[in-house]
Amino acid sequence: MVKKRLPMSSRKIASWLIREGWEEIQQKRTSHRQFKHPDTGRKLTVPHPKKDFPAGTLRQIYKVAGWA
Confidence at 2, pLDDT banded by 50, 70, 90 = low
pLDDT of residue 67: 82
Indicate the pTM of the whole model: 0.80
User: Which residues does residue 36 pair with via DSSP β-bridges, in sequence order?
Assistant: 23, 43
- CA–CA distance, 43 with 7 (Å, rounded to integer): 23
H helices within 1-68, ranges in order?
10-19, 55-65
How many whole angstroms separate alpha carbon 35 and alpha carbon 44? 5
28-49 pLDDT tens trace: 888 889 999 999 999 999 988 7
Q: Cα(55)–Cα(36) distance, rounded to whole angstroms?
A: 22
Non-local (6+) Cβ contacts of 58 within 8 A are 6, 8
At 3, is the pLDDT very low, low, confident or very high (cuts 50, 70, 90)? low
Q: Answer whether CATH 3.30.920.30 is correct for domain 10-65.
A: yes
Domain ranges of the chain: 10-65
